[in-house]
Amino acid sequence: MTSPPLAGLRVLELARILAGPWIGQLLADLGADVVKVEAPEGDDTRKWGPPFVEGKDGEHLSAAYFHSANRGKRSITADFRSEEGQALVRRLASHADVVIENFKVGGLEKYGLDAASLRAAYPRLIYCSVTGFGQDGPYAPRAGYDFLVQGMGGAMSVTGEPSGAPMKTGYAVADIYTGLYASVGILSALRRRDATGEGATLDLALLDTQIAVLGNQAMNYLVSGKPAPRLGNAHPNIVPYDVFPVADGHIIIATGNDGQWRKLCEVLGEPALAAHPDYAENRSRVANRVALTEKLQFLTQRYGKADLLAALEKVGVPAGPINGIDEVFADPQVIARGVRVDLPSEAATNGTIPTVASPIVIDGVRQVAPIPSPRLNEHHDDILNDPAWGGGG
């Protein structure tokens, strides 16, 4: 069996909550040995429940939130405020390829565990800092929170119904995307180190990332000078591309070109609508989106969900259901792809802990760490005795 792509890579995670641990989990999925150093009381998210993973002895094995971002790691505790804890982290850092931390700017400097201190001692180290606002600028000292960053970074201004309040996404988009960008940066720095022998210091900010993933919305503003309004589920550049009512609920219709638009009109029994001068081209449909959307909503309500989706799929018009998370995991495509994985755990009530696998598939093998999230300090002795981390073996 082929070794995981990052087998042999040693990662020291001094991170908690979400963005930093998301990096460590992704690297663990790809085969890295990730040692998570936690405060004696543990990562805050261990207590962010319910729900909690149930243990065989009636105790809980940390909150589901913690398990969403920490599979594949080994846990050891250290009190950074003590000389003993600092010495332990420095010892581990001396054997690490990568350090991940998400403390406030300057938070580790007083312990001698900041990028400058550790990279001076270990020049080959890749040191990745994740903060709310970056290492410089007027907001650098502030703590970063996903919700606040979604607001500050423009995402909430384009999310929600036009007549309603601005809305955040239903998951921590700024944290998770920052974890993904940081992982790309770490792998790039490792590639460069292979060529030069030099490590690197990475500075990842939630706010930078949130702005970056605005994508076409940001470019629309930069080109036009006009900030985008909230459009609910509609698309700023394509019409029709929205949620539409049907007799038994709602569906998504996402036409991407004029050909698909004409096919949609044929399915809805109104082929003449496609040729109407106000709607024949996407440019005119965008200009007349309100009137057109009202017409389409009237037409789609005449059909049942399953019948309309089947008819649209038959002619190649992009459309789909709006699934609850329970429906997501019951979907035959999701099951066939192996997105849910049950990782073995002797401590868990059912003998396994469920997880959502990484979406990365290499040579037909889904990249997911084989072990679940660790119990607090579970691997203390293993890590201290591991020769790869400076132990005696």
Among 33, 97, 114, 175, the active-site one is 175
Q: Contact, 187 vs 194, CB < 8 A?
A: no
- Could you identify the residue written with the tokens 């890749």? 126
Q: Contact, 301 vs 236, CB < 8 A?
A: no
What DSSP assignment string belongs to 64-102? HHHHTS-TTEEEEE--TTSHHHHHHHHHHHTT-SEEEE-
Q: Is 284 helix (H, G, I), strand (E, B) or coil?
A: helix
Helices (H), the chain: 19-29, 64-67, 83-93, 115-121, 146-152, 173-196, 206-212, 216-224, 258-267, 271-275, 282-287, 289-300, 305-315, 325-330, 332-337, 380-384
How many other CB atoms are found less than 10 A from the CB of residue 267? Answer: 20
How many other CB atoms are found less than 10 A from the CB of residue 262? Answer: 18
Is residue 175 part of the annotated active site? The answer reads: yes
Question: Tokens in use for 255?
Answer: 């036409």
Catalytic site positions: 175
